[in-house]
A and B are shown apart, each in its own frame.
Chain A
Amino acid sequence: GNSVTQMEGPVTLSEEAFLTINCTYTATGYPSLFWYVQYPGEGLQLLLKATKADDKGSNKGFEATYRKETTSFHLEKGSVQVSDSAVYFCALTGGSYIPTFGRGTSLIVHP
């Protein structure tokens, strides 16, 4: 079956630091890949997505590239802000109509 593995958190950074959150996946065929963000007290919301190999999704300064050869979709941001503090979920859909989510990675950004 499908699976998503993302790095354990929390990730703690100072403001303006570089962020990487690793995500690798196992899936049959060619899944669509997503990053969702969950702010405290809210539901998950889409941050970015990519639907085919070598596509780069980007939004709000965050980027992730669909790497089929390494089955990865790592999330990056060049300079994080305190307002980026949240939980980030990597996810995929493909092979079935049931999406597969990672466990989530908590990001804490200090001023």
Chain B
Amino acid sequence: DAGVIQSPRHEVTEMGQEVTLRCKPISGHDYLFWYRQTMMRGLELLIYFNNNVPIDDSGMPEDRFSAKMPNASFSTLKIQPSEPRDSAVYFCASSLRASGRTDTQYFGPGTRLTVL
């Protein structure tokens, strides 16, 4: 398996523009997570899906952020409009359920977002 795939790897945009990040999880995994990583705040969970259904989006910072998972092999995280404070590395991760909990998280390589 190719692992979790994210695109683009780098994104530079200007404040106010719409940004869409994409993720393809590992085939067969039933959980998908979106994280944001910054030096100041560390690794933050934004939202997670189970079988394509959003379960907990309490980590989404504000209404400018939205995420979808239209099918088992694709998810998007959209920021509209973007702001400089959204600059961070965004990771997608997928996992399987095991014994009533999620098992190992498989992370993608991340998208480094810079908002000017």
Contact = CB atoms under 8 A, between A and B. Distances in A.
A91 B99 CA distance: 17
Nearest to B59: A98
A94 B50 CA distance: 16
Query: For the side of the interface on A, what is the size category?
Result: 20 to 34
B102 A97 contact: yes
A44 B105 contact: yes
A43 B109 contact: yes
A36 B50 contact: no
A24 interface: no
Nearest to A96: B101
B108 A103 contact: no
A93 B43 contact: no
A16 to B, nearest CB: 30
A93 B107 contact: no
Contacts of A104: 42-43
Given A43-B91, A44-B91, A97 B109 contact: no
B45 A45 contact: no
Contacts, number: 56
B108 A43 contact: yes
Chain A contact residues: over half helix, strand or loop, or mixed? Answer: loop
Contacts of B55: 97
Contact of A98 (B43, B45, B104, B107): B45
Contacts of A89: 43
Contacts of A46: 104-106
B34 interface: no
B53 to A, nearest CB: 12
A97 B45 CA distance: 12
A32 B107 contact: no
For the complex of A and B, the 9 pairs showing the least CB-CB separation, nearest first, are A43-B107, A93-B101, A44-B107, A97-B102, A46-B104, A103-B42, A93-B102, A43-B109, A101-B43
21 contacts: A31-B101, A34-B104, A34-B105, A36-B105, A41-B109, A43-B109, A43-B110, A44-B107, A46-B105, A49-B104, A91-B105, A93-B102, A95-B101, A96-B101, A97-B48, A97-B101, A97-B102, A98-B45, A98-B48, A101-B43, A103-B42
